[in-house]
């Protein structure tokens, strides 16, 4: 079984940085997986990935150093299982508002008796004959805390067995508070919610994560106590490079 080095890093109390891929480009997925970052998040919720391109991207990332993870489009038993079967070593589940939501997500990720994942897998067989014996420990399961309701329930959510950590969605959380996500940094309620999430993770021994707004924001979030941090994306890096090129060329 491949060791989930990103998860092991976080369990040691360190920060694990990752990049998201959403362009639907297999070549970009392969390149990003080999850039030296800890983990790659294949975004099935907002990214341009279909069933076949997802499998192709995971094949392309297989030889990379980054741990392959994915955000499922919704909290769905079959969708979660399919991503695990194809070789994902981390699952991020969006819109988890209650402990019941969290239990459904965690159970779908782990084989019995820990969870309810169905026996059988596809590409994940490449991880070795010991896959079913070790996968429950190697998989990183994070639920997204991204609503006012989730913040209210955050300690109970994080105490759910099988949940390793969270990935805070600051944009949707701001919307649930009636705050424009682009002005979330000006909201005291939003700031207090982030502090509450980190503290709840500390209280329950779980890993706090967040979707950062870029590299500098990722460093700031790490200083706040977050450990699982996505701080860039394939499209974001491409457009940043394109804009910098235009500026250097003097093109308005």
- The three-class DSSP label of residue 98 is coil
39 an active-site residue?
A: no
Task: Provide the b/e sequence for 59-88 (b: ≥16 CB within 10 Å).
Answer: bbbeebebbbbbbbbebeeebbbbbbbbbb
Residues 6+ away with beta carbon under 8 Å from 177 = 148, 187, 189, 190, 193
Residue 223, classified by CB atoms within 10 Å of its CB into exposed (0-12), middle (13-18) or buried (19+), is exposed
Nearest to 223 by CA among 187, 195, 186, 203: 195
DSSP state for residue 134 in the 8-state scheme: H
| Catalytic-labelled residue, pool 46, 62, 97, 190 | 46
Which residues are known catalytic residues? 46
């Amino acid at each position: 079984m491949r060791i989930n080095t990103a998860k092991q890093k976080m369990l040691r109390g360190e920060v694990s940085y990752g990049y998201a891929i959403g362009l639907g480009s297999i070549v970009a997925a392969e390149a990003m997986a080999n850039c030296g970052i800890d983990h790659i998040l294949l975004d099935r919720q907002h990214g341009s990935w279909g069933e076949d391109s997802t499998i192709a991207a995971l094949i392309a990332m297989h030889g990379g150093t980054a741990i392959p993870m994915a955000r499922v489009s919704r909290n769905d038993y079959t969708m979660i299982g399919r991503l695990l079967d194809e070789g994902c070593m981390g699952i991020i589940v969006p819109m988890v508002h209650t402990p019941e939501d969290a239990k459904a997500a965690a159970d779908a990720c782990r084989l019995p008796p820990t969870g309810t994942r169905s026996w059988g897998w596809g590409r994940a067989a490449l991880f070795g004959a010991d896959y079913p014996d070790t996968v429950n420990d190697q998989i990183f399961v994070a639920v997204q805390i991204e609503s006012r309701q989730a913040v209210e329930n955050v300690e109970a959510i994080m105490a759910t067995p099988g949940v390793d950590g969270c990935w805070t969605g600051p944009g949707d959380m701001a919307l649930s508070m009636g705050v424009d996500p682009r002005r979330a940094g000006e909201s005291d309620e939003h700031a207090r919610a982030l502090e509450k999430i980190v503290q709840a993770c500390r209280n329950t021994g779980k890993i706090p994560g967040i979707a950062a707004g870029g590299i500098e924001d990722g460093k700031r979030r790490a200083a706040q106590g977050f450990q699982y941090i996505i701080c860039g994306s394939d499209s974001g890096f491409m457009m940043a490079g394109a804009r910098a090129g235009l500026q250097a060329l003097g093109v308005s």
